[in-house]
Amino acid sequence: MQFRIEHDTMGEIKVDDSQYWGAQTQRSLENFKIGTEKMPKELIGAFAKLKRSLAVVNHQLGKLSLEKSQAIIKACDCILKG
């Protein structure tokens, strides 16, 4: 398994390279094993559509770099494809 190093205010943490989340989510997964409930797929899809749209608009407004915008769009498209 490949890992990358993510950073937050608490320092560095290893995150599985195949995952789209960052340091805070990884810490939550390790520290709060409280259940297996998951969000409904429809809600996840709605958030992905919203996040994708915001990435496009914020790039057009000059508030988000092309690199970050493309990364967010790619992740959202992957989520929407299932």
Q: List the beta strands (DSSP E) in the chain.
A: 3-8, 11-16
Residue 44's closest CA among 67, 75, 4, 18?
A: 75
Q: Specify the pTM.
A: 0.70
- Give the residue carrying structure tokens 């790619």: 74
How many H-runs (helices) and E-runs (strands) does the chain carry?
A: 3, 2
pLDDT at 38: 84
- Cα separation, 66 vs 56, in Å, equals 9
pLDDT at 35: 76
pLDDT value of position 60: 98
pLDDT of 34 reads 76
Q: Alpha-carbon Rg of the chain, whole angstroms?
A: 15
Q: Which residues of the chain have pLDDT under 50?
A: none
